[in-house]
Amino acid sequence: MKHISIEKKLLKSLADLKIKKGDTLFIHSNLNILFKEQDVTLRESVEILLKCLKKILGPRGTIVVPAYYYEYGFNKKIFDINNSPISPELGIFPKFIIAQKKSLRSLNPITSVVANGYNSKKICNMNTCSGYGVDSPFDILTNLKAKMVFLGVDLRYMTYVHYVEFMVGVPHRYNKLFLNPIKKNNKRINLPVISQVRYKNVISDSVGNNIKFERAKIVQKAKFNSAIIRSLNFKDVFTFLKKKLQKNVFYLLKEKPVL
């Protein structure tokens, strides 16, 4: 009975975010924060969240989570799609999703995502190892008019802003070719691994994301107990940031850098 009550509350909160059947969701989460007022274990919390998401999305819905492997870039490690762990700072929910049957992981290690559901093959295609280019997961998610959802975290964690910076062509980030290999099923994937990286003296204003998107009135908000949860449409974010960055390429930074 305890879980049923929590599930009803969470389903109501997700519906308040305008999430509906058939949606594709990209989820940033911290379940310790989201469920902090609930008498459930961490394992129970991920099971409740997945159950509620599947119920509200239905068979044509898709769940996508970040599965970045930062060690590939920092420590020049091999990226094995089947075995390389998700970086721990992304929380427990991505690790839970990658363990589900029929979950797929995309090819670029630094911007890797895991998808489970109707659009998973489209999102995690084998066409490119580009972090933000054509056919990359963030490119596909934008074209699908997917929604990003923030559960237990705020908009500081929105990595999608870098895709928009890539598309507009800001001067403080550049494309880098990585040479350490990527593998799947013990076979090397012979595609160029390209990720966008920033210059060292560039400081993003991630805290400002909350104010920027709130003022733009493109954020859906709801409450789950005392926690504020949020959702935004990829297309809305892209359109808003494109206009801002075309006028001021440093819009997402704390200050104009010396390049």
Widest CA span in the chain: 59
- Distance between CA atoms of 236 and 244, rounded to whole angstroms? 13
User: What are the tens digits of pLDDT across the range 216-245?
Assistant: 999 999 999 899 999 999 999 999 999 999
Which DSSP category does 47 fall into?
Answer: H
| Residue carrying the six token digits 């060292």 | 200
- Distance between CA atoms of 128 and 200, rounded to whole angstroms? 27
User: Which pLDDT value is given to residue 4?
Assistant: 79
- Nearest-Å Rg of the Cα atoms of the chain is 18
Q: Which residues contact 208 (CB under 8 A, 6 or more apart)?
A: 252, 254
Confidence of residue 2 (pLDDT cuts 50, 70, 90): low
Tokens matching residue 142: 């934008």
| Residue carrying the six token digits 């580009």 | 130
- Distance between CA atoms of 233 and 160, rounded to whole angstroms? 11
User: What are the tens digits of pLDDT across the range 133-180?
Assistant: 999 999 999 999 999 999 999 999 999 999 999 999 999 999 999 999
